[in-house]
Amino acid sequence: MDELGIYSVSVSNSTIDCRTAAGRTSRREELSKAEDFSDTHSEKQRERMRVAVMERRQYLGKAPLGYENVTRRKGKDEPNIRPLEPHFSLIRQAFELIDSGSYNLAECLREMTKRGLRPQHGRVLDAGALSRMLRNPAYMGMIPTERHGVQPGCHVLCVSEATFRKVQMILNGKKPLTTSYERNRPELPLRRFLQCARCGNALTGSQAKNKKYGYI
């Protein structure tokens, strides 16, 4: 077994003399055996991955930022990644900022950098890394795979599916950003100070003549 935990077959045999026909035949047989072993191992590895994802709902590979890998107890249907603070909460806040519609990606990056969001290696997060993070379905409790697509996981989700889907729409430019409402305008100095005599709600004004609208 090598350092990656994969069994290997040596195809080097010093007793084979490739200068002879018999030696070359023996070498071809050895190479064929090694290839068969490799194919069998690959099939078993793919089956183990299929079982891990489709049946045990385990995350494959290194845990995404905000989670850490844990060892699953044998015979237990448990997640193999778990939330890692403070990254987990900070990533949720990043989703919430984009979801609010008041922050674009660059503004969200600046704000989350101020709040202390960093990759686990300690470097400053860049826009590309933040975009990839916000697009990772693992944060809504799913498992992304190349062979089996996106499958349900059993780990703790960071944000709801609704929030995740809305953030994807904003990142893809399909949902317009909203700007913060300007409450104080010099041309309307009495806004919020006048109240409706009937309902008691604050009134706002309009620059159009003879128009007033109830403001809740």
Read off the pLDDT of residues 139-182 as tens digits, 9 standing for 90 and up. Answer: 999 888 777 678 888 899 999 999 999 999 999 988 665 555 45
Q: Where are the domains of the chain?
A: 1-55, 67-171, 182-216
State the residue for tokens 């935990």. 5
pLDDT of residue 64: 92
State the residue for tokens 């309902």. 199
Q: Rounded distance, CA 167 to CA 158, Å?
A: 13
The CATH code of domain 67-171 reads: 3.90.1750.20
pLDDT of residue 30: 75
CB 151 within 8 A of CB 145: yes
Mean pLDDT of the region 22-26: 75
pLDDT top residue among 151 and 84:
84
pLDDT of residue 27: 74
| Mean pLDDT of the residues in the chain | 76
Decide if pLDDT at 211 tops 70. Answer: no
Please give the angle made by the CA atoms of 66, 169 and 90, to the nearest 5 degrees. Answer: 20
